[in-house]
Structure formats: structure tokens, C-alpha cells
Amino acid sequence: MNNPSQPRIAPLPAEAWSAEAREKLRGHLAVADRYLSGEPGTPPLPNVLGLFGHHIDLGSAWMAYNSVLMERPALDPRLRELIVLRVAYRTRSAYEWVQHTRIGQRCGLTSEQIDAVADGASTHTWDRLDALLLRATDQMIDRYRVDNTTWEELTGLLDIRQLLEALFVAGTYTCLAMVFNSVDLELDSEADLSSNLPFTPAGTPV
């Protein structure tokens, strides 16, 4: 788990959900729908969905928005996941890192590349676009703005829709990481924290 203490907001367990709440969250994000049917044999509810169970209107709106980034992307999914993993590393969000390590591998990131996310843009692992997106992500986190040099280089490699989407991915998953860290969201029961977590999770006592 992220923190040895109890989570500040515990995910709402599946048995506490009403059919109306499940239905309100369904139909936005295909990856979430398989957990929300309530039918026998439904996989265990991920903790992020259990968190949204406390605020169904917010969860429904969030998933409708996030479905654009996840299911109808202008940006290559591999590049999206590279940005998300850099955000997870910089914000020390264990939940986000573990989830998107798996997603990133499915989208084409190699184990070597995932390990290299911790080193940022400086390593020779990356091609030019990869390195620029890692640098832009760091600049947004550190200074809330992509600098002029990085911006000019990115505009030569991405169209406007892709560039806007890259900015929204970095901002979106920074927001999510702050929420996960602040509520002490625990890893899902099947998650393996030993999977090369390259940082001490936020909130861990020192």
C-alpha cells in the first residue's frame, strides 16, 4: 500500500454500490465497464473506481472526459503512457505508477524504457520526441509552463491536436496523482509493489 496507516478515504466496496450508481458510471470508459456490471463473476472493483463511488457525478464526468484521452486519442498511446509514468514518478504516486506500468507495456513501452523514466529526458534510451515530451512534462510540473525551446521543437513533431492532448495528459494525471496521494489510495489487491517501484511513495513516513 502507499501508506502503512489507513487511507484517508477508503474506496467504497462493491457491495455498497447501488444499481443506479453503477449505471451512472457505465458507458463512458470501456475499461471501467467490465468492473461495473454487478453480475456474478465481475472482476474485483479497482480502488480508483471505489473512490469515485463516493461522488458519482464527479466520477461520471471524469470518466467521460478521460475516455477521450484513453479511447479516442490524437496522441500515440505509447507517448501518452510515457507522460503519465513521468508524472507518476515525479509525484511519487505508487497507485498511478503501478497501474500505468501495465498499461504502458500494453501500449509498447519496453521494460528498459519504463526503468529509464526515472532518469527523465537525459538518458540515451529515448528518441527525440520521447525526450521532448519527458522534458515538457518536467517543465509543466516544475514551472507550470513548457518553455519556448521545447515548445518550438514539439511543434515540429506534433500537430496541434496532439500537442494539446500531451498538455492535457500531463495536467490530468498530475491532478489524479495528487488526489491518489492525498487520500492515501491503496494499491489494488492484485498489484505487486515489488515491481521496480523507483521511488518512495508520497506520504510514507521517514
Q: What's the pLDDT tens digit per position in 189-206? A: 866 654 568 999 998 876
Dihedral of the alpha carbons of 104, 107, 110, 114, in degrees to the nearest 10: -20
Mean pLDDT of the chain: 93
Mean pLDDT of 119-148: 97
Q: What is the pLDDT of residue 39?
A: 82
Averaged pLDDT, 63-70: 95
CB 63 within 8 A of CB 53: no
Question: Is residue 184 a contact partner of residue 203, using CB atoms and an 8 Å limit?
Answer: yes
Count how many residues are written for the chain.
Answer: 206
Query: Residue 2: its pLDDT value, please?
Result: 45
CA-CA distance, 90 to 178, in Å (whole number)? 11
What distance in Å separates the CA atoms of residue 92 and residue 73, rounded to the nearest whole number? 26
Q: Which amino acid is at 201?
A: P
Cα 97 to Cα 92: distance, rounded to the nearest angstrom: 8
Rounded Cα–Cα distance for residues 9 and 172 (Å) = 20
Q: Is 75-182 a domain of CATH 1.20.1290.10?
A: yes
Indicate the residue type of 202.
Answer: A
Q: Does residue 174 contact residue 141 with C-beta atoms inside 8 Å?
A: yes
Domain ranges of the chain: 14-70, 75-182
The span from the CA of 30 to the CA of 21, in Å, is: 16
Separation of alpha carbons 152 and 156, rounded Å = 7
What is the value of pTM for the model shown? 0.93
- pLDDT for 113-131, tens place per residue? 999 999 999 989 999 999 9
| DSSP-assigned letter for residue 46 | P
